[in-house]
Amino acid sequence: MKYFLFFLFVHLVVDYVLQNGFVFQLKRKHIWGIWLHSGMQLVVVAFFLPFLLPGHFGYLLGSAVFLVVVHAVIDRGRQVITDCDPKQDTLFLFLIDQLIHIGTIALIAFFAPSGEIFRFGSSWLIPNNIFLMVTLFSTVLVFYCYGAFFRQFIPEVFSLRSRIYTILSGTIFFLLYYHPFLSFFPYLLLVLLFLHPVFNPKEGEMKGFFRLSLQGCLALVLIWLGKWVSGQV
């Protein structure tokens, strides 16, 4: 379970933290851009190598290399599908893509050695995974859901305004469970930002109620799963 949580964390960091607009465009234009994006997993894993406990170095590094190759193949396959027909870039394809990634991670974790991986423990993995999923992962998910439910083209899907809105609202849901008092601060920032006309939703973009409702449901599910997994680690 600890290996699954760790490589899920690596996947979320690579796909939703390090994959900015520049990297995304490189992936669309060049094959080597896909390998650059996928290879970032090695960079993230390398950061944690000094903190490994004995007996995990070989498996962790070998698994990371395997995941780099598989990640690149999956992303290339999705790219071929969407290049042939852009209309195929749907919620269904997005979910299938993520399920294959997670399934590969589960396969790696199934054969992993038991015991603790890091000197500082693994308790940090669950809240960090939940935070990344409720904020950055849901930034992508809510837009695919909006397109699937309303069949409407959404301009500037990954605009700065949209990212800020979704990340802040996701942070509020996360903190409401882990640190209720601190949730006031991102809520206040969200209110102050969206009083400014620059941050008002443009025509064609989803309204706040739908976004918050979807994120709220996602947060509840992830937090419940996190509590269940906590008892398994």
Are 216 and 175 members of one domain?
Answer: yes
The per-residue pLDDT for 153 is 46
Q: Which residues pair with 160 in a beta bridge?
A: none
Are 1 and 100 members of one domain?
Answer: yes
E-only strand ranges, 6-150: none
Are 5 and 25 members of one domain?
Answer: yes
Are 17 and 44 members of one domain?
Answer: yes
The per-residue pLDDT for 203 is 46
Joined tokens for residue 206: 């989803």
Are 154 and 111 members of one domain?
Answer: no
Joined tokens for residue 55: 């007996």
User: Could you give the number of structural domains in the chain?
Assistant: 2
Single out the residue in 85, 103, 120 at which a domain terminates.
120
Residue 6 and residue 64 in contact, taking contact as beta carbons nearer than 8 Å? no
Distances (CA, A) of 162 to 155, 171, 205, 222: 11, 14, 9, 22
Are 26 and 55 members of one domain?
Answer: yes
Are 113 and 127 members of one domain?
Answer: no
Joined tokens for residue 177: 């469970």
| Range 62-97 burial, b when 16+ CB lie within 10 A, else e | ebbeebbebbbebbeebbeeeeeeeeebeeeebeeb
Are 147 and 76 members of one domain?
Answer: no
Is residue 168 over pLDDT 80?
Answer: no
Single out the residue in 60, 94, 120 at which a domain terminates.
120
User: Which of 41-55, 75-89, 136-150, 202-216 has the weakest average pLDDT?
Assistant: 202-216
CB atoms within 10 A of CB 165: 24
Q: Average pLDDT of the chain?
A: 78
**Mean pLDDT, rounded, for 154-178:** 69
Distances (CA, A) of 104 to 62, 80, 97: 14, 20, 11
Single out the residue in 76, 92, 120 at which a domain terminates.
120
Are 20 and 83 members of one domain?
Answer: yes
Residue found by looking up tokens 């969206």 in the block: 194
How many helices (H) and strands (E) would you count in the chain?
10, 0
**Mean pLDDT, rounded, for 141-163:** 63
Is residue 105 over pLDDT 90?
Answer: yes
Per-residue pLDDT of 71-89, as tens digits, reads: 999 988 888 888 888 778 8
**Mean pLDDT, rounded, for 124-131:** 85
Q: What range does the domain containing 107 cover?
A: 1-120
Are 62 and 84 members of one domain?
Answer: yes
Query: Which residues, other chains included, contact 205 with Cβ-Cβ below 8 Å and sequence gap of 6+?
Result: 154, 155, 156, 162
Are 79 and 135 members of one domain?
Answer: no
Is residue 116 over pLDDT 70?
Answer: yes
Q: 156 or 81: whose pLDDT is higher?
A: 81
Are 84 and 164 members of one domain?
Answer: no
Banded pLDDT at 106 (limits 50, 70, 90): very high
